[in-house]
Every structure is written in structure tokens, then in C-alpha cells.
Amino acid sequence: MQQAVTRCYLATKAGGDEKSLIINAVGRDRLGLVSEITGYVISEGGNVGESQAAKLGNYFSLMMLVDVPENNLDALKHRLKSMTDMNATVFEATGDDSSGVMHQEVGYSGYFTLEGADHPGIVHKMTTALAAHGLSIDKLHTDQEIAPYGGSVLFKMKGIATATAPLAQSFDAIKIKEELADLGDSLNCEVDIEEVVDAHYEGSFYAG
């Protein structure tokens, strides 16, 4: 099992000539999928911005931020919906801000990890603990594998969690780290979170 999450904050372009959209496509993996989708965007006069893709078993998932001329929006939606073995949806921004994509300022960014025996509810408990401290999931990757000895299922999770600035007065990174370690003990897992102080984790997140 694998998951990938990306958060983007969107708004409509000034003047109403272009729309900022998120394309969310899921389907059977096959050669040339990203090329096909980006080709549709370009052919309709659009521009591709940020994107996030993941292979989930025999399936492929893609989230892509694009800007498309408003007059070509319906044509793009039709082409995406006609793709073979692919379910594509389009979210159209409706905000009043004219700045296009908006990224909220980050006050804290942490790289979290969990590794241990798999059991029901483990993802929910971990993400609930993060949310209790005002941390939002920006990226999440989970996986399962058979442990080298004993044949039990080993569950792994890693991700990036952030809190927007300004941080609440009660925000305490040390306390968060300690509470997550306690959670890990209760789950029979190794759980940790480290503050991201450079681009190392962002650049290497999906490398290993």
C-alpha cells in the first residue's frame, strides 16, 4: 500500500482569461500516461505547473496543477474523461484572489517516520496525533513488506507535516516528538519526527 499527498492553495487568474485547475487522475498504469495528459493540457493552450504522481501496485495516480484558457476548459475536461482505463476529475478554483497559486507561509516543517508491526488503525492514530498539534500532512508515503524473520507484516510510513505561520504559542516541537515516541511505544513501532531545516528531505522524499 502506498499513498502520496500534496497540498496546493489555488485561486482564479486575474482578468478571467485563465483558470487554475487541479487534475486528479487514477487508473491502470501504462506507458505514456503523463505524456498523454500533459499533451491534452498543452493542446488546449494550457500550462503545467506543480504535479505529484505515484504508482500504486498496478495502478497510477496523478495530481497536477495547470492553468488553462477559460474558453478551452470544457474541451480539456472532455478529453480527460475520454481516456481509456483512467478516471480523471478536474477541480476548478473559485477564489477571488488574483495571485494564482497561493502557498501559505510555513512556520514548522517536520519529517516523520513510523516502522513496526502492521495493525488496523495505525495510519489513523498517527495522523490524528499530528493533527492534534496543528500539523497538516503535506506528503505521505506508506508501504508494507514481510519482515525478514517470523513472516509478520512490517508497516512503514514517512511524510512531511507542516504548521502554518505564525505558530501558536502552545506549539512545542519537543513535546510533539516526545508524544509521538510514546505513541510508537503503544503501537509497538518506532516513531520519530525531525524538523526539516533544509531542502534535503523535500528533494529525496521519494528516493528511498
| % of the chain residues with pLDDT over 70 | 82
Per-residue pLDDT at 117 exceeds 90: no
pLDDT grade, residue 11 (50/70/90)?
very low
Is the per-residue pLDDT at 98 higher than 60?
no
Q: Which of 50, 59, 51 is nearest to 2 (CA)?
A: 59
Residue 147, phi then psi, degrees to nearest 5: -65, 145
Q: What is the pTM of this model?
A: 0.71
pLDDT of residue 198: 59
Give the CA distances from residue 151 to residues 143, 145, 146, 162, 186, in Å, rounded to whole numbers and listed in that order. Answer: 16, 9, 6, 35, 22
> From CA 184, how far away is CA 188, in angstroms rounded?
6
Measure Cα distances from 159 to 19, 26, 84, 175, 196 in Å. 30, 21, 32, 19, 11
Query: For residue 94, what pLDDT is reported?
Result: 66
Buried b (16+ CB within 10 A) or exposed e, 151-185: eeebbbbbbbbbbeeeeeeeeeeeebbebbeebbe
